[in-house]
C-alpha cells in the first residue's frame, strides 16, 4: 500500500490549499516544499481579495461574480487575514470617463451576493479625507468595497489546517525524482537525507518550476506551450496617506495601480506584470518598473515619490496563459493516468479563487478514492472563529486579557493569529513572561510558536512571511533572533 493518497510538490498558495482540501476530505496527504511556505510567487501578487473590476471592461461577468462569491467566503472564514476595505478611484480627467466608471461600479455591486459591505458611492474629495494626499485638481472619487489579505499568512493558515487534519507538511525538502507506476515513488532530499515516499496520486504545484519539474523530475510530456513565465512586482514605500483606503490609480496606458496601507507605517504599490526569462529563483524588480509606479503616483499624489524612497520590492514568477488577451485564472490540468497513478498540475491564478481551484482539483480524484464531500466553502481557517465585523472587538478583548499589549501590538497579533492568540501568548501576565525580546514587538513566545506550529526554521521565515517585522527590526535584534533560532533548531 502507498504511504499517502496524495503527494503535493510545492508549498505556495496552490499547494497549501490543495493539501487543506484533500486532508479535510479524508485523504492521507504529504506536502513537500523545497524552501519555506509562500516563499515564491504566492508572496508576489497583489494581496487583494476582490472581483477584479478591470475584468468588467472585458465582459468577463461570470468570472467577476465567482470572484465576488469567493470574496464573501474569505471575509467570513478568515476575518483575521482578510479585511474589507474601501477602495478609492480618484477621477482623472484624461482617463476612463466618470459615467463608465460609475456604471461599472454599480454593476459590480449588483454582481456581489447580498453582503453587509457598503455599496459604491461618489465622494467629493475636496471635503473628504480621501482627498488629503491628492493633488488639487481632483474633485471627485468613486469609492467601492473590496478586501485585502495577508497572502503569506493565508498560505501558512491553509498548511496549519491541513496538518491539523492529518497532512504531513515538509519544508526544506526538495523532490528530486518521481517515478510513475501504479503509484508514484518519490525521492526527496530532506535536510541532507534522501527519503523515499510513495503516493497514489501526485500534484505538481511548483509554480514557475512546474515545466522543469514536469519534464526532468516527473519525466512527463511537456505542459502546454501556451504557458509562459510571467513576473509580477510590487514595491513598498513609507506610508503615502493616512486613511485606511486602498487607492486605485489609472495610469496613462489604462492599467490600474493599487496603493494599499501595509503594516501601518508603509504603503504597498502594485502590481505590474511582464514576460520573464531566466531562473525563477533569481528574480528582481527591474528599475523601469519602479519608475513606472513613481510616474503613476506622480499623476495623483501631492508629495512626489522617488525611486530612492522604495523600502523593499517584491517580485515573483509563475506560469500563466492568456486567452484573447485576458489572463486565465490559473492552470488546472488532470492526467488520470490510464492504469498508472494520476497527476494533477495546478499553478498560478488569483488568491481570491484559490480555495475553489483546490476544491475542483481534489474533486478530480473522486473516481479514484472514496472521500467525503466538498467542505471548505463554509469552514473557518485556523484563528478565524469570530464574526468578520468584530475585528476591533477581538483587539479590545486581547488587550483586556493581556494588559501589557499596546493597541498596535494587539492589532498585529490579532491580525496574524486571530482567535488562536492564546496559543501564542498563553497565560502571560507581563512582557517578561514571554521570554527574550527581539526588538519591541517580537518575543520568544511567538518565535517558539512559529517554530513548533508553523514550520519557521530561519529568521527570514519569521521576519518576512509569518510576520512582516523585518520591515522595522534592527540588525542587532535580527542577529539575536538568528542566534536564538539556531539554538532551538
Ligand X SMILES: Cc1cc2nc3c(=O)[nH]c(=O)nc-3n(C[C@H](O)[C@H](O)[C@H](O)COP(=O)(O)OP(=O)(O)OC[C@H]3O[C@@H](n4cnc5c(N)ncnc54)[C@H](O)[C@@H]3O)c2cc1C
Question: Residues in the site for ligand X, rule: CB under 6 A?
Answer: 9-15, 32-35, 39-42, 44-46, 174-175, 205-209, 213, 217, 230-232, 273, 316-318, 347-352
Task: Print burial letters for 424-460: b (CB count within 10 Å at least 16), e (below 16).
Answer: bbeebeeeeebeeebeebbbebbbbbbbebbbbbbbb
Q: Which three cell numbers stand for residue 327?
A: 489572463
48 versus 424: smaller Cβ distance to ligand X: 48
Least distance in Å: CB of 476 to ligand X?
30
Q: Output 27 or 319, the one with its CB closest to ligand X.
A: 319
| Number of Cβ atoms within 10 Å of the Cβ of 462 | 25
Report in angstroms the alpha-carbon separations of 351 from 14, 50, 114, 129, 348: 9, 9, 22, 30, 9
CB of 313 to ligand X, least distance (A): 13
Q: Is 53 helix (H, G, I), strand (E, B) or coil?
A: coil
Nearer to ligand X, 134 or 317 (CB): 317
Per DSSP, 461 falls in state I
- Write down the least CB distance from residue 245 to ligand X, Å: 19
Rounded Cα gap, residues 8 and 32, in angstroms:
6
Q: Which helix (H) or strand (E) holds 478?
A: helix 475-488
Handedness of CA 40, 45, 50, 55 (dihedral sign): negative
**What would the grid cell of residue 133 be?**
494626499
What b-and-e string marks burial along 18-31, b requiring 16 or more CB atoms within 10 Å of the CB? bbbbbbbbebbbbb
Residues 36 and 10: beta-carbon distance below 8 Å:
no
Task: Tell me whether residue 205 or residue 313 sits nearer to ligand X (CB atom).
Answer: 205
- Residue number with CB closer to ligand X (77 or 419): 77
120 vs 152 by CB, closer to ligand X: 152
Give the nearest distance from C-beta 201 to ligand X in angstroms.
17
Which DSSP category does 368 fall into? T
* Nearest distance in Å: CB 455, ligand X: 12
Please choose, from the candidates 103, 136, 137, 135, the residue with its C-alpha nearest in 3D space to the C-alpha of residue 122. Answer: 103
What's the closest the beta carbon of residue 447 comes to ligand X, in angstroms? 22
Shortest distance in whole angstroms from residue 454 CB to ligand X:
15
Q: Of 45 and 459, which CB lies nearer to ligand X in the complex structure?
A: 45
Amino acid at each position: 500500500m502507498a504511504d499517502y493518497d496524495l503527494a503535493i510538490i510545492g508549498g505556495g498558495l496552490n499547494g497549501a490549499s490543495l493539501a487543506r482540501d484533500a486532508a479535510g476530505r479524508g485523504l492521507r496527504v504529504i506536502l513537500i516544499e523545497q524552501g519555506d511556505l509562500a516563499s515564491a510567487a504566492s508572496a508576489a501578487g497583489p494581496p487583494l481579495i476582490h472581483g477584479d473590476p478591470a475584468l468588467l471592461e472585458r465582459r468577463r461577468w461570470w468570472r467577476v461574480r465567482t470572484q465576488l462569491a469567493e470574496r464573501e467566503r474569505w471575509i467570513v472564514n478568515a476575518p483575521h487575514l482578510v479585511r474589507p476595505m474601501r477602495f478609492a478611484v480618484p477621477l482623472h480627467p484624461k482617463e476612463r470617463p466618470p459615467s463608465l466608471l460609475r456604471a461599472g461600479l454599480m454593476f459590480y455591486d449588483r454582481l456581489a451576493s447580498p453582503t453587509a459591505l457598503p455599496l459604491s458611492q461618489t465622494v467629493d474629495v475636496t471635503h473628504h479625507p480621501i482627498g488629503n494626499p491628492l493633488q488639487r485638481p481632483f474633485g471627485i472619487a468613486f469609492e467601492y468595497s473590496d478586501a485585502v489579505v495577508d497572502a503569506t499568512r493565508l498560505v501558512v493558515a491553509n498548511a496549519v489546517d491541513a496538518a491539523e487534519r492529518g497532512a504531513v507538511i515538509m519544508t526544506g525538502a526538495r523532490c528530486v525524482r518521481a517515478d510513475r507506476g501504479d503509484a508514484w515513488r518519490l525521492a526527496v532530499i530532506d535536510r541532507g537525507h534522501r527519503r523515499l515516499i510513495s503516493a497514489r496520486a501526485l500534484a505538481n504545484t511548483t509554480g514557475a518550476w512546474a515545466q522543469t519539474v514536469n519534464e526532468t523530475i516527473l519525466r512527463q510530456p511537456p505542459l502546454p506551450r501556451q504557458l509562459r513565465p510571467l513576473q509580477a512586482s510590487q514595491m513598498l514605500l513609507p506610508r503615502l496617506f493616512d486613511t485606511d483606503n486602498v487607492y486605485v490609480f489609472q495610469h496613462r496606458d489604462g492599467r490600474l495601480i493599487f496603493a494599499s496601507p501595509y503594516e501601518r507605517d508603509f504603503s504597498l504599490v502594485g502590481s505590474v506584470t511582464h514576460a520573464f526569462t531566466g531562473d525563477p529563483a533569481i528574480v528582481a524588480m527591474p528599475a523601469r518598473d519602479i519608475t513606472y509606479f513613481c510616474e503613476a503616483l506622480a499623476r495623483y499624489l501631492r508629495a512626489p515619490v522617488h525611486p530612492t524612497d522604495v523600502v523593499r520590492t517584491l517580485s515573483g514568477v509563475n506560469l500563466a496563459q492568456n486567452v484573447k488577451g485576458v489572463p486565465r485564472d490559473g492552470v488546472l490540468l488532470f492526467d488520470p493516468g490510464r492504469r498508472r497513478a494520476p497527476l494533477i498540475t495546478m499553478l498560478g491564478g488569483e488568491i481570491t479563487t484559490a480555495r475553489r481551484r483546490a476544491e475542483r482539483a481534489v474533486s478530480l480524484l473522486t473516481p479514484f478514492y472514496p472521500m467525503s464531500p466538498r467542505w471548505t466553502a463554509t469552514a473557518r481557517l485556523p484563528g478565524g472563529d469570530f464574526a468578520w465585523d468584530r475585528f476591533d472587538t477581538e483587539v479590545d478583548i486581547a488587550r483586556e486579557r493581556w494588559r501589557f499589549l499596546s493597541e498596535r501590538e494587539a492589532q498585529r497579533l490579532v491580525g496574524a493569529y486571530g482567535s488562536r492568540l492564546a496559543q501564542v501568548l498563553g497565560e502571560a501576565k507581563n512582557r517578561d513572561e514571554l521570554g527574550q525580546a527581539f526588538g519591541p514587538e517580537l518575543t520568544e513566545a511567538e518565535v517558539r510558536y512559529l517554530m513548533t506550529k508553523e514550520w519557521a526554521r530561519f529568521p527570514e521565515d519569521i521576519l518576512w512571511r509569518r510576520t512582516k517585522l523585518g520591515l522595522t527590526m534592527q540588525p542587532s535584534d535580527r542577529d539575536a533572533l538568528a542566534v536564538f533560532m539556531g539554538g532551538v533548531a
